[in-house]
Structure 1
């Protein structure tokens, strides 16, 4: 019996020219269409393929599962200050109680007391802790963040992103991702 695999379920892992993923979280993936377009434009090398072929009347190609860019893309040293990146820096957990539910962010030094919206003053917080802390100073209420807020590097976020692998990892990707995989001796 032949099992039909939709091309949509065959994304390509995108590696930089140094064979490291462009990003870990979200994992750098391209649709099969974008991967084939990049191959035809000679922008990537095919590293590995799926056991799936796409065909047209004049063209046939195995779907790439891993591609590497031909030209190295220098990653930004520091990531953008976004809510998602704050959560990723803080490993998607409240910095006051450790909860992973109902996350928002909190100004450690409240804005009403001169605190700014910066990497060094914002932490992930669950809604109950955020409401409990309100506009009070951490030391006044005994709510000190587990980790002092800091400006992360892209490397910091990549390291944290490795702890949150996507639901599906194709076997051909594993050599290029550094999840907690036991290596053979």
Structure 2
């Protein structure tokens, strides 16, 4: 799964005040118009620019490609329990068969049997597996998730998000992404 980013749109990579991306998936990007507005409101520092410019009758500016917030935004400790974040935690694959298409989510312990809609009981599942499992308990149908469901940290989601880079990464972004990756000897 990739996030569609058009190089023609000249998006700006947005870094927190500690020079880390606000998020990896989706990658923290602003439209060039929002980046310029933030520059004029003195909310960001420009770290890198595109070769393209915008201008008015009395002003010209190269479009920013990387901006850094001047004020640190404290990341949430606990990510929101959303369908997208469940899929991201489970790496966009069915936890029963590994398929990546037609994803939905499944209650490991069915709601009809007292299962709750929580991080610890919901997994990504393809529609065929979800239908096959139905309202059965995992042991009754022989369908155990490959990974026990758990509440992920923001770090867990960022780590998983780095496995799904957008379809476009501008050269100027590379110094700020994957900074915690192992370096080649």
With structure 1 as the length reference, what TM-score do the two structures score? 0.93
Name the residue aligned to 1:122: 122
Q: Which residue of 1 aligns with 2:139?
A: 139
Q: Distance in 2 between matches of 1:18 and 1:136?
A: 47
Stretches of structure 1 that go unaligned for 5 or more consecutive residues are 1-5
**Correspondence 1:95-174 to 2 at 5 A:** 95-174=95-174
Q: Would you say 1:21 and 2:57 are equivalent positions?
A: no
C-alpha distance after superposition, 1:44-85 (max 9, x if no partner): 000000011111111111100000000000000011101000
TM-score (norm 2): 0.93
CA distance in 1 between partners of 2:104 and 2:160 (Å): 18
The 4+ residue runs of structure 1 with deviation greater than 2 A are 179-185
Q: CA deviation at 1:141?
A: 1.1
**Residue segments in structure 2 that go unaligned for 5+ positions in a row:** 1-5
Aligned length: 180
Deviation at 1:142, TM superposition (A): 1.0
Q: 1:179 to 1:101 in 2, by over 3 A?
A: farther
| Residue aligning to 1:3 | none
- Equivalent residues of 2:7, 2:170 under 8 A apart: no
Distance in 2 between residues matched to 1:18 and 1:104, nearest whole Å: 36
Pick 1 or 2: higher relative contact order, CA cutoff 8 A, min separation 6: 2
C-alpha distance after superposition, 1:4-52 (max 9, x if no partner) = xx99520000000000000011100000000000000100000000011
Aligned to 1:36: 36
1:52-63 matches, within 5 Å, as 52-63=52-63
Deviation at 1:124, TM superposition (A): 0.1
In angstroms, what is the RMSD of aligned CA positions? 1.8
